[in-house]
Structures are given as structure tokens and as C-alpha cells.
Amino acid sequence: MISVESLKSHALVKDINAYTVMIKTGEATVDKMYVLLEGRVGVFSDYGVRGEQKLYELVSGDFFNEMKLFMNKNREDTVVSLTDLKVLEITRDNVHQFFAEYPEITYMLIQTFCERAEKANAAAAESEARVAEQEAAPQEKPEVKKPVLKLFPSGHAKYTLPDFTFKKDLVRNETFTCPLCGNKFDFPLIRTVVVRTLSTDYDLRKNYDGVVGTHHLVATCPNCLFSSVTDKWDEAAKGNRAQVFRATVVHKDALGLTFTAMDADTIFARLYLALACAPLCFENHEMITARLWINISWLYRDCGDENMEKYATAQALQAYLTSYTNIKLDKKTEQAVCIIVGELCYKMGDINNAKKFFFSAKTNREGAAVMTNLAEDRLIDIREGERS
């Protein structure tokens, strides 16, 4: 990834409309590489024909078609703009001038080339090791260096979970069958009947004695990385299998996780993988997406990263608002969503909307009494906060 801000004023910057086919499979005419400054592109196989599949997306700071510019190799896929784009075009004619003018960008490009080469080497080494393992007696796999994690948004760092005393008799192992690869694996679920709720936050996070809900929300198949909230596992299994498979399995080597642990890396990876799967698995994924984002925000809070907590909170708010606006919710769910949206607005500093949503939760006639009281309490808090 390269820093793009300094490039936006460059003369070689071009605007491209959304849904423009930029490079076609095998096309021999485009002798340029692109640096993506703004927007997203999708990389497709069989674009526009039966069996079309989006392989992955590239975002601001990524570049593509460098193999054509430097090695005259055509792409075997199709690149399409998914939004309006700003791109920097580096052609055969201007490449020397560009590199002379921007030595620091040149350096970063070379660095990214090296990272990609290393990743390819690591993948090759791993598959060789796998072959060797199958042919010979089982032996230790050589340790390969893991490339950068792309599943996570920028700003995501390495985290350690805060200390807490895990009570293992509060969970039970459930066996899940992966709908993509058929792998069976165990994942611990919270025994809701025996667990004690210590408190409920205003955003409706339940704090338990001895277990953390977020840690047990999403199960991931350790083989292909298919991931879903556990209580919708069967429903998620009906999604577009090929698409889901491509969305998850691409991260396997880079993540290098076994998915048996309950450390911060693994829990974050489960949640972000489920986010990638949700739109491909559920007809109405917004509520699930919202639930995932709010749990991600809680996990960032637990790990002490305020910036990422705020980022995830904003994502959660957007997803809950989409659910609230677009989906017909039953009255009880609507009340809970109003409370969560109210609290998320409050956290983001939008006091007026916070009051509006808490008021709506409070006056929901078919809502639950406990929620009505909670909304009323919070409204009083906020009003008192405004007066002082």
C-alpha cells in the first residue's frame, strides 16, 4: 500500500466513472499500470458471462496491471471500477519521468513488489512443504514469514485481551459442520442458562461473570475460514458457496491462524471474516453486519484502542440505521435497535439524534418494560448532562 494524498494533484491523475471496465481478460492494448487514489475496483473472472465471480477488491493505495507495464504480461481477469475513481496512470512513455520525479513513490512500489514476491514465495514454499509432507513421513513444517494482514482495516494493530478469569464450565463445545468444505469442528458456546449477567451497558452489551459474549459470537471453519454468527449458522449455510469460499480462503495463508485459540488476533479475525461472509450469505444481512460491527467496537474498547473503537462504532451506527430504515422490524426489535442507535449517536457526539432515538424507544407501546425504563433512564442522564 502506498500513501496517496501527495499524488492527487499530479498531472497523470485521471477520473474514471463507476462500472467502467478498465482491463479485460487477456486484453493486449493497455500498456499502463494504475495506482488507485480514490474509490474501489473489483477483480472478476468470467466478467459479464455465466459463472462471473468477483475474486477480490482493491482500494485506495493499491495498484494493478504492473505486470503488463514491466513484463508485457496480460491479466487473466477483468478489472472493473465499483465506484467513481481517481487513478494515477503510469505508462511506458512517462514511467522514467515519473520515477525520477517521485523517488519515494518508486521506493514504495518496489517495496510492495518485494512483499508480493515474498508472499508468492511463501505460498509456493508452503505448498511444496505440503507435498513433501504427504510424500514423506510427517515432519515439522518450515516457518514461513507471514505477509501483511489484509483482512483488517488500516489502523488495526496487534492486541492483547485484558485479563479476566475465564470460567470454562460456563461454555459447552458444540460441533459445527462447515457448509463449504464439510469439515467438522468444535466451538465453545456460552451456556446462557447458567451464566450470570453482571450488568447491561446502554448499548445493550451484556457483561457476564466469567465469559465474554463477543468471544463466542462467531465460529470459523479452521479449514476454509467460512465464518458466521453461531445462532445463524444454518441460515448462513444457504449462501452463494463459491463466492463465500473466495472471500474467506484468500486470507488463510496471510492470517496463519489455527482458529482454535481465544486470543485477540483470532477473535478479531473471526469477526472480520464473518463480516466478509454476511452479505454473501444472508438476504438481509444488515442486522447481522450491525451486530458484528458493534461487537468489533466492544473488542477494540476491551483492547484499549479508542481510535479503532470509534471507527467500528461509526460502522455499527451506519449498519443499524440501514436496518432501521430499510427492514420491517418487529416492535420489540425496533425498540432495542432504537436504544442501540441512540447510544451509538451519543458516543459519536450526536446528542439530538441520541435523544430522538431514546425517546422513540421509551414511547414504543409494544416494547418491553425493561427497555422502556432503560431508555427513560438514559434520556434523563443525557438531559442532566446537557444542563450541567
Are 63 and 113 within 8 A, CB to CB? Answer: no
Kindly tell me which of 179 and 367 has the beta carbon lying closer to Zn ion: 179
Kindly tell me which of 174 and 209 has the beta carbon lying closer to Zn ion: 174
Positions in the binding site for Zn ion (CB under 5 A): 178, 180-181, 183, 221, 223-224, 226
Instruction: Name the minimum Å distance from CB 131 to Zn ion.
Output: 22
Are 340 and 320 within 8 A, CB to CB? Answer: yes
Instruction: Name the minimum Å distance from CB 235 to Zn ion.
Output: 17
Question: Which residue, chain included where needed, has cell 465453545?
Answer: 188
Q: Which residues are within 8 A (CB) of 385 and not within 5 positions of it... i.e. 6 or more apart?
A: none
Instruction: Name the minimum Å distance from CB 247 to Zn ion.
Output: 12
The grid coordinates of residue 86 equal 481517481
Instruction: Name the minimum Å distance from CB 224 to Zn ion.
Output: 3
What is the SS3 assignment for 145? coil
Kindly tell me which of 217 and 221 has the beta carbon lying closer to Zn ion: 221
Beta strands of the chain (E only): which ranges?
13-16, 21-23, 32-38, 41-45, 53-58, 63-64, 78-81, 85-91, 171-177, 184-190, 197-200, 206-208, 218-220, 227-229
Kindly tell me which of 178 and 290 has the beta carbon lying closer to Zn ion: 178
Instruction: Name the minimum Å distance from CB 239 to Zn ion.
Output: 13
Instruction: Name the minimum Å distance from CB 337 to Zn ion.
Output: 32
| CA 279/CA 287 separation, integer angstroms | 11
151: nearest Cα among 294, 253, 222: 253
Kindly tell me which of 241 and 310 has the beta carbon lying closer to Zn ion: 241
Kindly tell me which of 266 and 353 has the beta carbon lying closer to Zn ion: 266
